[in-house]
Structure 1
Protein backbone atom coordinates (compact mmCIF):
# COMPACT_ATOMS: atom_id res chain seq x y z
CA UNK A 1 0.00 0.00 0.00
CA UNK A 2 1.17 3.60 -0.51
CA UNK A 3 2.15 5.37 2.69
CA UNK A 4 -0.69 7.25 4.37
CA UNK A 5 -0.10 10.70 5.82
CA UNK A 6 -2.24 12.38 8.46
CA UNK A 7 -1.67 15.37 10.71
CA UNK A 8 -2.04 15.13 14.47
CA UNK A 9 -2.93 18.59 15.69
CA UNK A 10 -0.63 21.45 14.71
CA UNK A 11 2.70 19.80 15.54
CA UNK A 12 2.66 16.17 14.40
CA UNK A 13 2.77 14.31 11.09
CA UNK A 14 1.81 10.62 11.30
CA UNK A 15 2.91 8.25 8.54
CA UNK A 16 1.50 4.72 8.21
CA UNK A 17 3.81 2.48 6.17
CA UNK A 18 1.61 -0.63 6.15
CA UNK A 19 -1.55 -2.08 7.65
CA UNK A 20 0.20 -5.36 8.45
CA UNK A 21 3.09 -6.20 10.72
CA UNK A 22 6.05 -7.51 8.73
CA UNK A 23 9.80 -7.15 8.54
CA UNK A 24 9.36 -5.24 5.28
CA UNK A 25 7.01 -2.74 6.95
CA UNK A 26 9.42 -2.23 9.86
CA UNK A 27 12.27 -1.80 7.41
CA UNK A 28 10.33 0.85 5.47
CA UNK A 29 9.59 2.74 8.68
CA UNK A 30 13.23 2.56 9.75
CA UNK A 31 14.53 3.63 6.33
CA UNK A 32 12.17 6.59 6.24
CA UNK A 33 13.00 7.80 9.74
CA UNK A 34 16.73 7.44 9.03
CA UNK A 35 16.31 9.46 5.84
CA UNK A 36 14.37 12.18 7.67
CA UNK A 37 17.04 12.35 10.36
CA UNK A 38 19.81 12.65 7.75
CA UNK A 39 17.88 15.35 5.85
CA UNK A 40 17.94 17.61 8.94
CA UNK A 41 14.67 19.26 7.98
CA UNK A 42 14.38 22.66 9.62
CA UNK A 43 11.71 22.67 12.32
CA UNK A 44 11.69 18.92 13.04
CA UNK A 45 12.10 18.42 16.78
CA UNK A 46 11.48 14.69 17.23
CA UNK A 47 11.17 11.51 15.14
CA UNK A 48 9.44 8.50 16.70
CA UNK A 49 9.55 5.21 14.74
CA UNK A 50 7.01 2.47 15.50
CA UNK A 51 6.38 -1.05 14.22
CA UNK A 52 4.87 -0.17 10.86
CA UNK A 53 4.53 3.60 11.13
CA UNK A 54 6.23 6.67 12.55
CA UNK A 55 5.43 10.13 13.82
CA UNK A 56 7.29 13.39 13.38
CA UNK A 57 6.99 16.34 15.73
CA UNK A 58 7.69 19.74 14.18
CA UNK A 59 7.48 23.42 15.03
CA UNK A 60 4.77 25.01 12.83
CA UNK A 61 6.30 28.44 13.46
CA UNK A 62 9.45 27.23 11.68
CA UNK A 63 7.99 25.03 8.92
CA UNK A 64 4.48 25.00 7.46
CA UNK A 65 2.66 21.64 7.71
CA UNK A 66 2.27 21.42 3.92
CA UNK A 67 6.00 22.02 3.49
CA UNK A 68 7.01 19.25 5.90
CA UNK A 69 4.56 16.94 4.14
CA UNK A 70 6.28 17.64 0.79
CA UNK A 71 9.74 17.12 2.32
CA UNK A 72 8.78 13.74 3.81
CA UNK A 73 7.01 12.58 0.64
CA UNK A 74 10.18 13.36 -1.31
CA UNK A 75 12.14 11.22 1.14
CA UNK A 76 9.61 8.41 0.58
CA UNK A 77 10.34 8.49 -3.15
CA UNK A 78 14.09 8.42 -2.53
CA UNK A 79 13.80 5.65 0.07
CA UNK A 80 11.83 3.47 -2.36
CA UNK A 81 14.79 3.57 -4.77
CA UNK A 82 17.47 3.01 -2.13
CA UNK A 83 19.16 -0.32 -1.44
CA UNK A 84 17.42 -2.10 1.49
CA UNK A 85 20.59 -2.21 3.58
CA UNK A 86 21.23 -0.79 7.04
CA UNK A 87 24.25 -0.72 9.30
CA UNK A 88 23.14 -1.87 12.73
CA UNK A 89 24.17 -3.92 15.78
CA UNK A 90 23.68 -7.54 16.69
CA UNK A 91 23.66 -8.22 20.44
CA UNK A 92 23.48 -11.37 22.53
CA UNK A 93 21.03 -11.27 25.45
CA UNK A 94 21.26 -13.99 28.13
CA UNK A 95 17.90 -15.42 29.25
CA UNK A 96 17.11 -17.65 32.21
CA UNK A 97 14.04 -19.42 30.82
CA UNK A 98 11.42 -20.84 33.22
CA UNK A 99 12.97 -18.89 36.09
CA UNK A 100 11.44 -18.86 39.60
CA UNK A 101 10.46 -15.16 39.61
CA UNK A 102 8.29 -15.08 36.49
CA UNK A 103 6.97 -18.52 37.47
CA UNK A 104 5.86 -17.23 40.88
CA UNK A 105 4.23 -14.22 39.21
CA UNK A 106 2.38 -16.16 36.52
CA UNK A 107 1.04 -18.59 39.13
CA UNK A 108 -0.44 -15.63 41.04
CA UNK A 109 -2.40 -14.59 37.95
CA UNK A 110 -3.62 -17.93 36.51
CA UNK A 111 -7.28 -16.87 36.67
CA UNK A 112 -6.45 -14.20 34.06
CA UNK A 113 -4.88 -16.71 31.66
CA UNK A 114 -6.29 -18.80 28.79
CA UNK A 115 -4.96 -22.01 30.39
CA UNK A 116 -4.97 -21.80 34.21
CA UNK A 117 -3.80 -25.43 34.50
CA UNK A 118 -0.33 -24.84 33.02
CA UNK A 119 2.43 -22.27 32.74
CA UNK A 120 2.90 -19.61 30.08
CA UNK A 121 5.73 -21.64 28.50
CA UNK A 122 3.65 -24.81 28.43
CA UNK A 123 0.74 -22.94 26.85
CA UNK A 124 2.96 -21.24 24.25
CA UNK A 125 4.66 -24.55 23.35
CA UNK A 126 1.32 -26.34 22.93
CA UNK A 127 -0.46 -23.77 20.76
CA UNK A 128 2.62 -23.40 18.54
CA UNK A 129 2.77 -27.20 18.05
CA UNK A 130 6.04 -27.83 19.88
CA UNK A 131 6.39 -31.19 21.58
CA UNK A 132 7.90 -29.80 24.77
CA UNK A 133 8.92 -26.61 26.56
CA UNK A 134 12.55 -27.38 25.70
CA UNK A 135 11.67 -27.53 21.99
CA UNK A 136 9.85 -24.22 22.30
CA UNK A 137 12.79 -22.55 24.08
CA UNK A 138 15.10 -23.86 21.35
CA UNK A 139 12.89 -22.20 18.71
CA UNK A 140 12.57 -18.96 20.69
CA UNK A 141 16.34 -18.67 21.15
CA UNK A 142 17.33 -20.30 17.88
CA UNK A 143 16.69 -17.39 15.52
CA UNK A 144 17.45 -13.67 15.88
CA UNK A 145 14.88 -10.95 16.53
CA UNK A 146 14.65 -7.51 14.91
CA UNK A 147 13.96 -4.56 17.24
CA UNK A 148 11.18 -2.72 15.44
CA UNK A 149 10.53 -0.02 18.03
CA UNK A 150 11.44 1.06 21.54
CA UNK A 151 8.85 2.60 23.82
CA UNK A 152 5.40 2.29 25.41
CA UNK A 153 7.41 1.92 28.63
CA UNK A 154 10.81 3.63 28.73
CA UNK A 155 13.45 1.43 27.12
CA UNK A 156 11.12 -1.48 26.28
CA UNK A 157 11.98 -3.13 22.91
CA UNK A 158 9.37 -4.67 20.63
CA UNK A 159 11.01 -7.48 18.67
CA UNK A 160 9.94 -9.35 15.54
CA UNK A 161 11.20 -12.90 14.97
CA UNK A 162 13.39 -13.20 11.88
CA UNK A 163 11.89 -16.36 10.36
CA UNK A 164 9.25 -17.10 7.74
CA UNK A 165 5.76 -16.04 8.76
CA UNK A 166 4.54 -19.64 9.14
CA UNK A 167 7.35 -20.33 11.64
CA UNK A 168 6.82 -17.24 13.75
CA UNK A 169 5.82 -17.76 17.36
CA UNK A 170 2.28 -16.46 17.91
CA UNK A 171 0.83 -16.25 21.42
CA UNK A 172 -2.14 -14.14 22.57
CA UNK A 173 -1.84 -11.81 25.52
CA UNK A 174 -3.44 -12.69 28.86
CA UNK A 175 -7.24 -12.51 28.93
CA UNK A 176 -6.87 -9.73 31.52
CA UNK A 177 -3.57 -7.91 32.20
CA UNK A 178 -1.56 -8.67 35.31
CA UNK A 179 -0.92 -5.96 37.87
CA UNK A 180 2.67 -7.17 38.25
CA UNK A 181 5.52 -8.29 35.98
CA UNK A 182 9.12 -8.70 37.16
CA UNK A 183 11.68 -6.28 35.77
CA UNK A 184 13.59 -7.71 32.79
CA UNK A 185 10.97 -10.35 32.00
CA UNK A 186 11.23 -11.73 28.46
CA UNK A 187 7.65 -11.74 27.23
CA UNK A 188 5.56 -12.33 24.11
CA UNK A 189 2.21 -11.08 22.82
CA UNK A 190 0.80 -11.65 19.33
CA UNK A 191 3.80 -11.82 17.02
CA UNK A 192 5.99 -9.59 19.19
CA UNK A 193 8.62 -10.43 21.75
CA UNK A 194 9.64 -7.87 24.35
CA UNK A 195 11.74 -7.31 27.45
CA UNK A 196 10.02 -5.49 30.30
CA UNK A 197 12.44 -2.70 31.17
CA UNK A 198 10.81 -1.97 34.56
CA UNK A 199 8.55 -3.81 37.00
CA UNK A 200 4.86 -3.16 36.44
CA UNK A 201 1.59 -4.24 34.91
CA UNK A 202 1.57 -6.31 31.74
CA UNK A 203 -0.33 -8.75 29.60
CA UNK A 204 2.36 -10.55 27.60
CA UNK A 205 3.13 -14.22 28.23
CA UNK A 206 6.22 -14.62 30.43
CA UNK A 207 8.98 -16.98 29.25
CA UNK A 208 11.99 -16.05 31.36
CA UNK A 209 14.16 -13.25 32.68
CA UNK A 210 17.44 -11.63 31.66
CA UNK A 211 20.10 -10.47 34.13
CA UNK A 212 21.04 -7.65 31.76
CA UNK A 213 19.54 -4.20 32.57
CA UNK A 214 18.25 -2.43 29.45
CA UNK A 215 17.11 0.84 31.05
CA UNK A 216 18.94 2.77 33.76
CA UNK A 217 17.86 6.39 34.41
CA UNK A 218 20.72 6.71 36.94
CA UNK A 219 23.22 5.72 34.20
CA UNK A 220 25.34 3.83 36.75
CA UNK A 221 25.30 0.55 34.76
CA UNK A 222 28.68 0.29 33.02
CA UNK A 223 27.36 -0.04 29.46
CA UNK A 224 24.55 2.54 29.97
CA UNK A 225 26.70 5.47 31.12
CA UNK A 226 26.35 7.28 27.77
CA UNK A 227 22.62 6.72 27.34
CA UNK A 228 20.04 5.32 29.76
CA UNK A 229 18.24 3.22 27.10
CA UNK A 230 20.11 0.24 25.65
CA UNK A 231 18.07 -0.69 22.58
CA UNK A 232 17.70 1.19 19.29
CA UNK A 233 15.24 0.45 16.47
CA UNK A 234 17.04 -1.79 13.98
CA UNK A 235 19.05 -3.71 16.57
CA UNK A 236 19.20 -7.47 16.03
CA UNK A 237 18.88 -9.60 19.18
CA UNK A 238 20.02 -13.19 19.72
CA UNK A 239 18.82 -14.80 22.95
CA UNK A 240 21.20 -17.14 24.78
CA UNK A 241 19.64 -19.64 27.24
CA UNK A 242 21.45 -19.71 30.59
CA UNK A 243 20.98 -21.60 33.86
CA UNK A 244 20.60 -20.29 37.42
CA UNK A 245 24.34 -20.33 38.10
CA UNK A 246 25.11 -18.27 34.99
CA UNK A 247 22.24 -15.92 35.82
CA UNK A 248 23.55 -15.29 39.35
CA UNK A 249 27.06 -14.73 37.99
CA UNK A 250 25.78 -12.23 35.41
CA UNK A 251 23.82 -10.32 38.09
CA UNK A 252 27.01 -10.09 40.17
CA UNK A 253 29.00 -8.95 37.11
CA UNK A 254 26.42 -6.22 36.40
CA UNK A 255 26.59 -5.04 40.03
CA UNK A 256 30.39 -4.88 39.90
CA UNK A 257 30.48 -3.09 36.56
CA UNK A 258 32.17 -5.86 34.61
CA UNK A 259 29.25 -7.16 32.53
CA UNK A 260 29.59 -6.39 28.83
CA UNK A 261 26.99 -7.77 26.41
CA UNK A 262 28.51 -9.17 23.19
CA UNK A 263 27.80 -6.58 20.48
CA UNK A 264 29.01 -6.46 16.88
CA UNK A 265 28.33 -3.99 14.08
CA UNK A 266 26.74 -5.64 11.07
CA UNK A 267 25.25 -4.72 7.72
CA UNK A 268 21.76 -6.10 7.28
CA UNK A 269 20.53 -6.61 3.71
CA UNK A 270 16.79 -7.31 3.56
CA UNK A 271 16.91 -8.86 0.07
CA UNK A 272 19.77 -11.22 0.91
CA UNK A 273 17.95 -12.20 4.11
CA UNK A 274 14.78 -13.02 2.16
CA UNK A 275 16.69 -15.25 -0.29
CA UNK A 276 17.98 -17.61 2.43
CA UNK A 277 16.63 -16.80 5.88
CA UNK A 278 18.29 -19.62 7.84
CA UNK A 279 21.60 -19.20 6.02
CA UNK A 280 21.60 -15.44 6.56
CA UNK A 281 20.76 -15.84 10.25
CA UNK A 282 23.66 -18.29 10.62
CA UNK A 283 25.99 -15.66 9.11
CA UNK A 284 24.70 -13.06 11.57
CA UNK A 285 25.39 -15.40 14.47
CA UNK A 286 28.85 -16.02 13.04
CA UNK A 287 29.53 -12.29 13.09
CA UNK A 288 28.37 -12.13 16.71
CA UNK A 289 30.81 -14.83 17.76
CA UNK A 290 33.68 -13.73 15.52
CA UNK A 291 33.46 -16.62 13.04
Structure 2
Protein backbone atom coordinates (compact mmCIF):
# COMPACT_ATOMS: atom_id res chain seq x y z
CA UNK A 1 0.00 0.00 0.00
CA UNK A 2 1.23 3.47 -0.83
CA UNK A 3 -0.19 6.37 1.15
CA UNK A 4 -1.40 9.32 -0.92
CA UNK A 5 -1.75 12.88 0.33
CA UNK A 6 -3.82 15.53 -1.41
CA UNK A 7 -5.02 19.03 -0.62
CA UNK A 8 -8.74 19.68 -0.34
CA UNK A 9 -8.81 23.39 -1.06
CA UNK A 10 -7.07 25.54 1.56
CA UNK A 11 -8.63 23.89 4.63
CA UNK A 12 -8.34 20.11 4.23
CA UNK A 13 -5.72 17.40 3.84
CA UNK A 14 -6.94 14.04 2.52
CA UNK A 15 -4.88 10.96 3.38
CA UNK A 16 -5.64 7.75 1.46
CA UNK A 17 -4.07 4.54 2.78
CA UNK A 18 -5.11 2.30 -0.12
CA UNK A 19 -7.24 2.20 -3.27
CA UNK A 20 -9.64 -0.35 -1.82
CA UNK A 21 -11.23 -1.12 1.50
CA UNK A 22 -9.60 -3.81 3.63
CA UNK A 23 -9.32 -4.29 7.36
CA UNK A 24 -5.56 -3.76 7.09
CA UNK A 25 -6.15 -0.39 5.42
CA UNK A 26 -8.78 0.50 8.01
CA UNK A 27 -6.45 -0.18 10.95
CA UNK A 28 -3.63 1.79 9.31
CA UNK A 29 -5.97 4.71 8.71
CA UNK A 30 -7.31 4.53 12.28
CA UNK A 31 -3.80 4.40 13.74
CA UNK A 32 -2.57 7.36 11.71
CA UNK A 33 -5.66 9.50 12.31
CA UNK A 34 -5.28 8.82 16.04
CA UNK A 35 -1.63 9.88 15.77
CA UNK A 36 -2.70 13.18 14.18
CA UNK A 37 -5.18 13.70 17.01
CA UNK A 38 -2.57 12.88 19.66
CA UNK A 39 -0.07 15.26 18.05
CA UNK A 40 -2.46 18.13 18.88
CA UNK A 41 -1.29 20.17 15.88
CA UNK A 42 -2.22 23.80 16.30
CA UNK A 43 -4.90 24.80 13.80
CA UNK A 44 -6.53 21.37 13.40
CA UNK A 45 -10.29 21.71 13.89
CA UNK A 46 -11.58 18.27 12.88
CA UNK A 47 -10.38 14.78 11.92
CA UNK A 48 -12.79 12.62 9.93
CA UNK A 49 -11.92 8.89 9.52
CA UNK A 50 -13.29 6.87 6.59
CA UNK A 51 -13.06 3.30 5.27
CA UNK A 52 -9.40 3.36 4.24
CA UNK A 53 -8.60 7.05 4.55
CA UNK A 54 -9.12 10.12 6.69
CA UNK A 55 -9.42 13.87 6.24
CA UNK A 56 -8.05 16.65 8.40
CA UNK A 57 -9.73 20.06 8.53
CA UNK A 58 -7.62 22.98 9.71
CA UNK A 59 -7.53 26.76 9.90
CA UNK A 60 -5.18 28.10 7.18
CA UNK A 61 -4.82 31.35 9.12
CA UNK A 62 -3.11 29.36 11.88
CA UNK A 63 -1.06 26.92 9.79
CA UNK A 64 -0.44 26.91 6.03
CA UNK A 65 -1.63 23.99 3.88
CA UNK A 66 1.95 23.01 2.98
CA UNK A 67 3.04 23.08 6.61
CA UNK A 68 0.04 20.99 7.62
CA UNK A 69 0.82 18.46 4.88
CA UNK A 70 4.40 18.25 6.16
CA UNK A 71 3.30 17.69 9.77
CA UNK A 72 0.91 14.91 8.79
CA UNK A 73 3.43 13.15 6.52
CA UNK A 74 5.87 12.93 9.43
CA UNK A 75 3.33 10.77 11.28
CA UNK A 76 3.10 8.09 8.58
CA UNK A 77 5.39 5.76 10.52
CA UNK A 78 2.55 5.47 13.04
CA UNK A 79 0.50 3.72 10.35
CA UNK A 80 3.28 1.21 9.73
CA UNK A 81 3.22 0.37 13.44
CA UNK A 82 -0.58 0.16 13.53
CA UNK A 83 -2.05 -1.65 16.51
CA UNK A 84 -4.25 -4.34 14.98
CA UNK A 85 -6.15 -4.95 18.20
CA UNK A 86 -9.27 -3.06 19.15
CA UNK A 87 -11.47 -2.98 22.22
CA UNK A 88 -14.93 -2.58 20.79
CA UNK A 89 -18.51 -3.88 21.01
CA UNK A 90 -20.69 -6.28 19.07
CA UNK A 91 -24.29 -5.15 18.63
CA UNK A 92 -27.37 -7.09 17.61
CA UNK A 93 -29.37 -5.10 15.06
CA UNK A 94 -32.90 -6.39 14.32
CA UNK A 95 -33.81 -6.36 10.63
CA UNK A 96 -37.15 -7.00 8.98
CA UNK A 97 -36.17 -8.37 5.56
CA UNK A 98 -38.63 -8.03 2.66
CA UNK A 99 -40.69 -5.49 4.60
CA UNK A 100 -43.64 -3.67 2.94
CA UNK A 101 -42.12 -0.15 3.12
CA UNK A 102 -38.88 -0.73 1.24
CA UNK A 103 -40.78 -3.03 -1.15
CA UNK A 104 -43.24 -0.25 -2.00
CA UNK A 105 -40.34 2.15 -2.51
CA UNK A 106 -38.24 -0.13 -4.68
CA UNK A 107 -41.24 -0.89 -6.91
CA UNK A 108 -41.76 2.86 -7.43
CA UNK A 109 -38.23 3.17 -8.79
CA UNK A 110 -37.88 0.03 -10.95
CA UNK A 111 -37.07 2.05 -14.07
CA UNK A 112 -33.85 3.12 -12.33
CA UNK A 113 -32.82 -0.45 -11.54
CA UNK A 114 -30.75 -3.04 -13.41
CA UNK A 115 -33.66 -5.50 -13.23
CA UNK A 116 -37.04 -3.73 -13.58
CA UNK A 117 -38.93 -7.04 -13.38
CA UNK A 118 -37.78 -8.30 -9.99
CA UNK A 119 -36.92 -6.95 -6.56
CA UNK A 120 -33.60 -5.76 -5.16
CA UNK A 121 -33.18 -9.01 -3.21
CA UNK A 122 -34.04 -11.16 -6.24
CA UNK A 123 -31.40 -9.33 -8.25
CA UNK A 124 -28.79 -9.51 -5.47
CA UNK A 125 -29.37 -13.23 -5.04
CA UNK A 126 -29.06 -13.98 -8.75
CA UNK A 127 -25.85 -12.07 -9.43
CA UNK A 128 -24.21 -13.59 -6.34
CA UNK A 129 -25.07 -17.12 -7.39
CA UNK A 130 -27.84 -17.90 -4.90
CA UNK A 131 -30.92 -19.91 -5.80
CA UNK A 132 -33.32 -17.64 -3.91
CA UNK A 133 -33.67 -14.37 -2.06
CA UNK A 134 -33.95 -16.39 1.15
CA UNK A 135 -30.53 -17.97 0.57
CA UNK A 136 -29.03 -14.53 -0.02
CA UNK A 137 -30.67 -13.24 3.19
CA UNK A 138 -29.08 -16.14 5.09
CA UNK A 139 -25.65 -15.18 3.74
CA UNK A 140 -26.25 -11.54 4.64
CA UNK A 141 -27.02 -12.15 8.32
CA UNK A 142 -25.04 -15.33 9.07
CA UNK A 143 -21.70 -13.61 9.76
CA UNK A 144 -20.90 -10.37 11.62
CA UNK A 145 -20.10 -7.03 10.00
CA UNK A 146 -17.47 -4.40 10.83
CA UNK A 147 -18.38 -0.68 10.92
CA UNK A 148 -15.56 0.91 8.94
CA UNK A 149 -16.89 4.47 8.91
CA UNK A 150 -19.86 6.62 9.89
CA UNK A 151 -20.91 9.51 7.71
CA UNK A 152 -21.95 10.71 4.25
CA UNK A 153 -25.34 11.23 5.90
CA UNK A 154 -25.31 11.99 9.63
CA UNK A 155 -25.13 8.77 11.63
CA UNK A 156 -25.06 6.41 8.63
CA UNK A 157 -22.76 3.39 9.17
CA UNK A 158 -20.86 1.62 6.41
CA UNK A 159 -20.48 -2.08 7.23
CA UNK A 160 -17.95 -4.53 5.82
CA UNK A 161 -18.68 -8.26 6.18
CA UNK A 162 -16.16 -10.27 8.20
CA UNK A 163 -15.60 -13.07 5.69
CA UNK A 164 -12.92 -14.08 3.20
CA UNK A 165 -12.66 -11.71 0.24
CA UNK A 166 -13.89 -14.32 -2.24
CA UNK A 167 -17.04 -14.74 -0.14
CA UNK A 168 -17.88 -11.03 -0.05
CA UNK A 169 -21.39 -10.28 -1.25
CA UNK A 170 -21.28 -7.65 -4.00
CA UNK A 171 -24.17 -5.72 -5.51
CA UNK A 172 -23.96 -2.54 -7.62
CA UNK A 173 -25.93 0.58 -6.78
CA UNK A 174 -29.02 1.54 -8.75
CA UNK A 175 -28.41 2.78 -12.30
CA UNK A 176 -29.81 6.14 -11.19
CA UNK A 177 -30.35 7.15 -7.54
CA UNK A 178 -33.83 7.13 -6.03
CA UNK A 179 -35.34 10.35 -4.71
CA UNK A 180 -36.75 8.47 -1.71
CA UNK A 181 -35.53 5.84 0.77
CA UNK A 182 -37.36 4.99 4.02
CA UNK A 183 -35.61 5.90 7.25
CA UNK A 184 -33.63 2.98 8.73
CA UNK A 185 -33.54 1.03 5.48
CA UNK A 186 -30.80 -1.59 5.36
CA UNK A 187 -29.11 -1.03 2.03
CA UNK A 188 -26.27 -2.51 0.01
CA UNK A 189 -23.82 -1.12 -2.54
CA UNK A 190 -20.54 -2.60 -3.72
CA UNK A 191 -19.34 -4.75 -0.80
CA UNK A 192 -20.84 -2.46 1.86
CA UNK A 193 -24.06 -2.73 3.79
CA UNK A 194 -25.49 0.37 5.46
CA UNK A 195 -28.42 1.69 7.45
CA UNK A 196 -30.04 4.86 6.14
CA UNK A 197 -30.21 7.04 9.24
CA UNK A 198 -32.77 9.45 7.75
CA UNK A 199 -35.33 9.38 4.97
CA UNK A 200 -34.02 10.72 1.69
CA UNK A 201 -32.40 10.01 -1.66
CA UNK A 202 -30.25 6.93 -2.13
CA UNK A 203 -28.80 4.48 -4.61
CA UNK A 204 -28.12 1.35 -2.56
CA UNK A 205 -30.15 -1.82 -3.07
CA UNK A 206 -32.84 -2.13 -0.37
CA UNK A 207 -33.11 -5.41 1.55
CA UNK A 208 -35.11 -4.56 4.66
CA UNK A 209 -35.59 -2.14 7.53
CA UNK A 210 -34.69 -1.95 11.21
CA UNK A 211 -37.04 -0.61 13.90
CA UNK A 212 -34.01 0.61 15.86
CA UNK A 213 -33.34 4.36 15.64
CA UNK A 214 -29.62 5.01 14.99
CA UNK A 215 -29.61 8.83 14.74
CA UNK A 216 -31.58 11.23 16.94
CA UNK A 217 -30.56 14.92 16.86
CA UNK A 218 -33.08 15.60 19.65
CA UNK A 219 -31.45 12.92 21.84
CA UNK A 220 -34.83 11.77 23.11
CA UNK A 221 -34.27 8.07 22.31
CA UNK A 222 -33.23 6.34 25.55
CA UNK A 223 -29.94 4.89 24.27
CA UNK A 224 -28.97 8.06 22.34
CA UNK A 225 -29.20 10.59 25.20
CA UNK A 226 -25.43 10.77 25.61
CA UNK A 227 -24.76 11.19 21.88
CA UNK A 228 -27.10 11.55 18.91
CA UNK A 229 -25.21 9.05 16.70
CA UNK A 230 -25.32 5.37 17.71
CA UNK A 231 -22.50 3.83 15.66
CA UNK A 232 -18.76 4.50 15.69
CA UNK A 233 -15.94 3.04 13.55
CA UNK A 234 -14.81 -0.32 14.90
CA UNK A 235 -18.26 -1.44 16.05
CA UNK A 236 -19.24 -4.97 15.03
CA UNK A 237 -22.81 -5.75 13.97
CA UNK A 238 -24.76 -9.00 13.96
CA UNK A 239 -28.03 -8.76 12.04
CA UNK A 240 -31.01 -10.52 13.63
CA UNK A 241 -33.88 -11.33 11.24
CA UNK A 242 -37.30 -10.46 12.66
CA UNK A 243 -40.91 -10.62 11.46
CA UNK A 244 -43.63 -7.95 11.40
CA UNK A 245 -44.82 -8.72 14.93
CA UNK A 246 -41.31 -8.36 16.34
CA UNK A 247 -40.77 -5.21 14.29
CA UNK A 248 -43.91 -3.58 15.72
CA UNK A 249 -42.96 -4.61 19.26
CA UNK A 250 -39.41 -3.22 19.05
CA UNK A 251 -40.59 -0.01 17.38
CA UNK A 252 -43.10 0.53 20.19
CA UNK A 253 -40.34 0.01 22.78
CA UNK A 254 -38.04 2.48 21.00
CA UNK A 255 -40.83 5.07 20.93
CA UNK A 256 -41.66 4.40 24.60
CA UNK A 257 -38.02 4.77 25.62
CA UNK A 258 -37.74 1.23 26.97
CA UNK A 259 -35.73 -0.46 24.22
CA UNK A 260 -32.15 -1.45 25.05
CA UNK A 261 -29.95 -2.69 22.20
CA UNK A 262 -28.23 -6.00 22.86
CA UNK A 263 -24.51 -5.24 23.18
CA UNK A 264 -21.40 -7.10 24.34
CA UNK A 265 -17.90 -5.70 24.89
CA UNK A 266 -15.32 -7.63 22.86
CA UNK A 267 -11.68 -7.57 21.78
CA UNK A 268 -11.02 -7.73 18.03
CA UNK A 269 -7.56 -8.89 16.91
CA UNK A 270 -6.97 -8.55 13.16
CA UNK A 271 -4.12 -11.07 13.08
CA UNK A 272 -6.23 -13.64 14.94
CA UNK A 273 -9.15 -12.94 12.60
CA UNK A 274 -7.01 -13.41 9.49
CA UNK A 275 -5.65 -16.67 10.91
CA UNK A 276 -9.10 -18.10 11.77
CA UNK A 277 -12.05 -16.10 10.47
CA UNK A 278 -14.66 -18.74 11.27
CA UNK A 279 -13.39 -19.24 14.81
CA UNK A 280 -13.07 -15.52 15.50
CA UNK A 281 -16.61 -14.84 14.27
CA UNK A 282 -17.97 -17.68 16.39
CA UNK A 283 -16.34 -16.19 19.50
CA UNK A 284 -17.72 -12.73 18.69
CA UNK A 285 -21.25 -14.05 18.30
CA UNK A 286 -20.89 -16.21 21.42
CA UNK A 287 -20.07 -13.07 23.40
CA UNK A 288 -23.30 -11.51 22.15
CA UNK A 289 -25.29 -14.60 23.08
CA UNK A 290 -23.86 -14.40 26.61
CA UNK A 291 -24.73 -10.71 26.98
Give every structure 1 segment of 4 or more consecutive aligned residues whose post-TM-superposition deviation is greater than 4 Å.
none
- The residue that corresponds to 1:86 in the other structure is 86
Distance 2:247 2:220 in 1: 20
Which stretch shows the higher mean deviation, 17-26 or 168-177?
17-26
Q: In 2, distance between residues paired with 1:6 and 1:114?
A: 35
TM-score normalized by structure 2? 0.95
Distance in structure 2 (CA, Å) of the matches to 1:268 and 1:105:
37
Superposed CA deviations along residues 48-97 of structure 1, whole A, max 9, x for unmatched, are 11122110012233334444334323332023124311222211100000
Give the superposition deviation at 1:21: 2.0
Normalised to the residue count of structure 1, the TM-score between the two structures is: 0.95
Rounded to whole Å, the distance in 2 between the matches of 1:266 and 1:284 is 7
Instruction: State how far apart, in whole Å, the 1-side matches of 2:266 and 2:43 are.
Output: 32
SS of match in other structure, 1:93 = strand
The equivalent of 1:154 in structure 2 is 154
In 2, are the aligned partners of 1:96 and 1:210 still within 8 Å (CA)?
A: yes
Aligned to 2:237: 237
Whether 2:82 is the aligned partner of 1:116: answer no
Aligned pairs for 1:200-239 within 5 A:
200-239=200-239
CA distance in 2, matches of 1:73, 1:264: 37
Partner of 2:247: 247
Pairs within 5 Å for 1:126-205: 126-205=126-205
Q: How many residues align?
A: 291
Give the Cα separation in 2 of the matches to 1:83 and 1:111: 47
Identify the range of structure 1 (149-158 vs 38-47) with the bigger mean alpha-carbon deviation.
Answer: 38-47
What secondary structure is seen at the aligned counterpart in 1 of 2:141?
A: helix
Q: Rate the CA distance shift 1:83–1:217 in 2: closer, same or farther, 3 A.
A: closer
Any idea what SS the aligned residue of 2:13 has?
Answer: strand
Residues 69-84 of structure 1 correspond to what in structure 2 (within 5 A)?
A: 69-84=69-84
Which whole-Å CA distance do the structure 1 matches of 2:190 and 2:15 have between them?
A: 23
| Secondary structure at the counterpart of residue 290 of structure 2 | coil
Matches of 2:107 and 2:36 in 1, distance apart? 46
SS in 1 for 2:19: coil
Name which of structure 1's ranges 113-122 and 93-102 shifts more when overlaid on structure 2. Answer: 113-122
Structure 1: how far apart are the matches of 2:218 and 2:267? 32
Q: Give CA deviations for 1:28-58 in whole Å, capped at 9, x if unaligned.
A: 2122222222333332110011122110012
Q: Which runs of 5+ in 2 are unaligned?
A: none
Give yes or no for contact 1:30–1:234 (8 Å, CA) kept in 2: no
Aligned match of 1:60: 60
Alpha carbon RMSD of aligned pairs, Å?
1.5
* Partner secondary structure for residue 289 of structure 1: helix
Residue aligned with 2:75, SS: helix
